Structure 1
């Protein structure tokens, strides 16, 4: 992704949050310049747990079609005395017709919620022991406490206000229809470095073309703070 596109996407995410009167934590407003002026020790939890903005095209090179805008609001770290939280929370902004590709998590259970906008469409299928797509086993999930059963790859449509619980090793892909979707993720501790498995080759974090200066730092770039 181009740095200019990342800068624009986070600017746009702020504008959308403002339009929806959605209040975000202080660190969501820290530009690279503001980060440079902070006493970083005070923000150790944000830095070490990678809270903050996460813009990805999943290695597609086509963010408008395959990509996602996330803001990690809180997280923990398994086995850490410093960060004993057993849960995580993320804001998701999904543009119309923008998809997140097939993937599952080895350990994380998560609820994905449509907080408003268009329809959040999702396809589900179990992973086999070899991490392949199981096209035979039916999928049973809880949608707001209601037991639902789907054929592998059948589309679940979450209307605004609806959410689904996704257990570990359940492949899922999702996209927004009719309009932009404000999504929310409530989950067990999140580990994007080690707990994501994608059905097709790609990448969780984007390669960045530094065509302009970084206005915002992604949560995967905090090591740059000693360099800017």
Structure 2
């Protein structure tokens, strides 16, 4: 993706988010220079992978295959072994009309996917086939939507109206998109390390390759290694 397009997406996303009364934390609006100036204070932001995330999965067609995310909070995955600490994460995301987030599953992370407003959110769901890398094309899928048990056939489409949510457990394969318009999505989950906990059904890149045709308005999580020599750990 070109950096100029990433900048546009960030500005569009911020306006869409604000239209629902949701306001991002102050660091979201820092310039790259402000990040540099506060480098002594941002270790947790960088380590936890907090911030802007725009991906086309390396396929170069964001409108058809892509996702906007902002990681608001994220703990340390190492604390999971201790059973205490900041074991949770929160994200705000936008799925555009018929913009696919491709089929994937998580190994550790459980997540609530919440339609925070806009159009309907559609999710296609499968169980894992037991290998960790494939889908079960026959078994029914059981999930809970706002505490209510739902059973869908393999590959069934779950539709969530604004205010509705679904709990996805490790091993629930899912892809999702906006149905009838753009959707503001909340995610509340187990702490997650995006480098190790996402498995895609088809080989695909998680982050975009950025063509630097202009300066960044705001840094992406994927920019942190280049700017600060460290890797973030956000996921979705």
Settle same-fold status: TM greater than 0.5. Answer: yes
Distance 1:136 1:88 in 2: 32
In structure 1, distance between residues paired with 2:153 and 2:66: 25
User: Residues 94 and 139 of structure 1: is their aligned pair in 2 closer, same or farther, counting only changes over 3 Å?
Assistant: same
Partners of 2:137 and 2:59 in 1: how far apart? 25
Partner of 1:53: 52
Partner of 1:25: 25
The structural deviation recorded for 1:12 is 1.0
Could you tell me how far apart the structure 1 residues matched to 2:159 and 2:228 are?
44
TM-score (norm 2): 0.91
Alpha carbons 2:113, 2:187 under 8 Å: kept: yes
Q: Distance in 2 between matches of 1:215 and 1:29?
A: 9
CA distance in 2, matches of 1:20, 1:145: 24
Residues 71-150 of structure 1 correspond to what in structure 2 (within 5 A)?
71-80=70-79, 84-130=85-131, 131-150=133-152
Structure 2, unpaired ranges of 5+: 230-236
- TM-score w.r.t. length of structure 1: 0.94
Distance 2:213 2:23 in 1: 31
1: CA distance between counterparts of 2:14 and 2:135? 36
Find the aligned partners of 1:84 and 1:202 in 2 and give their Cα distance: 32
User: In 2, are the aligned partners of 1:94 and 1:182 still within 8 Å (CA)?
Assistant: yes
- Deviation sequence 1:105-145 (CA, Å, 0-9, x none): 01111000001100000010012222211101110000011
Deviations 1:40-90 (A, max 9, x none): 222211111110011111122100011000000001112259x93100000
Q: 1:215 aligns with which of 214, 217, 225?
A: 217
Q: How far apart are 1:196 and its partner, in Å?
A: 0.2
The answer for the alignment partner of 2:65 in structure 1 is: 66
1:198 matched to which residue of 2?
200
* d(CA) in 2 for partners of 1:15, 1:142: 31
Cα distance in 2 for residues equivalent to 1:214 and 1:115: 28
Give the Cα–Cα distance (whole angstroms) in 1 for the partners of residues 188 and 87 of structure 2: 11
Deviation at 1:226, TM superposition (A): 5.1
What SS does the aligned partner of 2:41 have? helix
Residue in 1 aligned with 2:14?
A: 14
Question: What CA RMSD, in Å, does the superposition of the two structures yield over aligned residues?
Answer: 1.6
- Note if contact 1:35-1:225 (Cα within 8 Å) is conserved in structure 2: no
